[in-house]
A and B are shown apart, each in its own frame.
Chain A
């Protein structure tokens, strides 16, 4: 590969130097190298790696690990913010229950999200250590890392790290002399955003089409191959070692007065800012600080709106940047924290066009099981296309209002459709004038029937 080509290569990088990252304050990233060189086994162990596994498996019960996760209040970093400790406490285990699975959700495909990639490429052993702790807490027999197929570099790092961990006795029988056994396999996907939904992911892992499953039963009751299964995001699992090593109180205190949620968060910014990228900061850090660190909006443009955590979260305004970026605060503001990676939209960018792009994504990625999602999304795209071209008709905006309600929570098997509804309803609320500008015809020929999924 020539220099000119290799200059274009994507390199994943944290925007904080080693001088800022400390073991006491940056549980996820303090071990990373400034040059992005992955931390493999030797270096990981030198940097206190696997100490939490040794400690937990020999000194704590599984129930104590769960309690620590609850007290630390580690909330799911995949987007929904469900307490990891509470989830693990609900996994069926004990007398007469077969040992089940830990599944790491490494399908990262939420538009605007690029955080799990960093952890997997540069510090794969942290994930493995977190999965061992999760396995111990959930009494799981085996683990799978469900990695999206396009993450080639992450697959390389993880494959090497799994070999190293097995070699060093962190995986397999009698881990760290504790008598506990557990192993992990890497499963790489073959595309489709819906695989990230946890029950679709389990179907995909089982080699089936990735349609979500009806809940209940929840995976903790009946997951992969009908066994109790805990599905957690990469970043969630990567928090477990520090919680065990330094204690739940320490972890909870990392966010200080900023938030009731514990720990830090890998936040990020993409869009037209001067310095895009990733930062590990206390959870509850306000958006203003993130935008500051990103150097503000570039090209002389102004901030118009932002998505707090991916394409399935609701738009917020510049004034909301003051809010703590945590699950409850952003939820109260009418959006969701989602993955915590901000997408910024400037005053020179059209909300209607962006909505058309987002809904085309959701429409294409619908698995097609539920009617509102399968039929409603292509229709939404058609209306948005018309408005974007200035060919909207009177009633189109009201129809979009209805569609946003019809796609909303409680009407479909999974949260894909509600995820598509949230940016739409917030865009219609905050930027209605932009939609109104697209209405030209008072009346006109009715739009043709919704086109089938896959054709938009």
Chain B
């Protein structure tokens, strides 16, 4: 009994609404495999990341092999395969921002948060990641926090900015 419960709670259970959304996405394309990335994003929106247990569940819903879902899940940089913080900070590290002192901003951020790229603050508040050109090069250095894009962001702006994300 106990064991069964442990397995059930450890196992990944997909929310009914997410299952519906994934099945709906499937109909937008000629082949179900095409809905794979969107399915991963739906799971990620709910959980913050894509746990291993979600892979066979998505594969089952789409009728494709778990290996193909796993292959996709590990390819794309915005699909997270580890838990992330409540807020994800993407810092543009491409050329135009680099020319506008991106490295000073990065150093200020890593120092302030006490973490490096790819890490999450111990309080679970922020995850810090580099990102390709955010298409905000006219206002670099640019960063994105969750769904919001900012720029230019100077090291002095960080306190104000981060405060907005509890």
Contacts and interface: CB of A to CB of B under 8 A. Distances in A.
B23 interface: no
Interface in B36-51: 36-38, 40-41
Contact of B150 (A9, A206, A357): A9
Contacts of A361: 93-95, 132
Nearest to B150: A8
Interface stretch (B1-9, B120-128, B137-145): B137-145
A208 B29 CA distance: 13
Given A117-B135, A207-B33, A268-B138, A5 B164 contact: yes
8 contacts: A9-B149, A9-B150, A10-B151, A112-B96, A188-B41, A207-B29, A343-B99, A358-B95
B72 A272 contact: no
Contacts of B68: 208
A270 B138 contact: yes
B90 interface: yes
Contacts of A268: 137-138
Interface string A414-451: 00000000000000000000000000000000000000
B74 to A, nearest CB: 9
A110 interface: yes
A4 interface: yes
Nearest to B164: A5
Nearest to B146: A152
Contacts of B161: 5, 8
B96 A207 contact: no
Interface in B92-115: 93-96, 98-100
A251 to B, nearest CB: 27
A400 B135 CA distance: 29
Given A9-B148, A150-B149, A205-B29, 18 more contacts: A5-B160, A5-B163, A8-B157, A10-B150, A111-B133, A114-B137, A117-B135, A152-B149, A190-B77, A190-B78, A206-B33, A206-B34, A208-B72, A268-B137, A270-B99, A276-B138, A276-B139, A354-B95
B interface: dominant SS: mixed
Interface of B: 28-31, 33-38, 40-41, 68, 71-72, 75-79, 90, 93-96, 98-100, 131-140, 142, 144, 147-151, 153, 157, 160-161, 163-164
Given A189-B37, A268-B138, A111 B31 contact: no
Closest 8 CB pairs of A and B: A191-B77, A190-B76, A207-B36, A191-B78, A111-B94, A276-B138, A270-B137, A207-B34
A1 B28 contact: no
A220 interface: no
Contacts of A153: 149
Nearest to A361: B94
Contacts of A114: 135-138
A316 to B, nearest CB: 15
B37 A190 contact: yes
Contacts, number: 164
Contact of A8 (B94, B140, B153): B153
A345 B132 CA distance: 19
Which of B37, B71, B93 has the largest count of A CB atoms less than 10 A from its CB?
B37
Nearest to A353: B98
A344 to B, nearest CB: 8
Contacts of A206: 29, 31, 33-34
Which of A10, A150, A188, A344 has the largest count of B CB atoms less than 10 A from its CB?
A10
A278 interface: yes
Interface of A: 1-2, 4-5, 8-10, 12, 108-114, 116-117, 148-153, 185, 187-193, 204-210, 224-225, 268-272, 276-278, 307, 311, 341, 343-345, 349, 353-354, 357-358, 360-361, 365
Contacts of A111: 94-96, 132-133, 137
B16 to A, nearest CB: 23
B79 A272 contact: no
Contacts of A358: 95
A410 to B, nearest CB: 25
A81 B28 CA distance: 31
Contacts of A10: 134, 136, 139, 142, 149-151
A278 B76 contact: no
A113 B137 contact: yes
Contact of A109 (B28, B30, B31, B135): B135
Contact of B76 (A4, A113, A192, A272): A192
Contacts of A224: 30
B148 A225 contact: no
B120 to A, nearest CB: 18
A345 B151 CA distance: 19
B132 A109 contact: yes
Nearest to B34: A207
Which of B30, B93, B96 has the largest count of A CB atoms less than 10 A from its CB?
B96
Contacts of B132: 109, 111, 191, 193, 361, 365
Given A114-B135, A210-B75, A272-B100, A311 B35 contact: no
Contacts of A187: 28, 38
Given A10-B136, A268-B138, A357 B98 contact: yes
Contacts of B40: 190
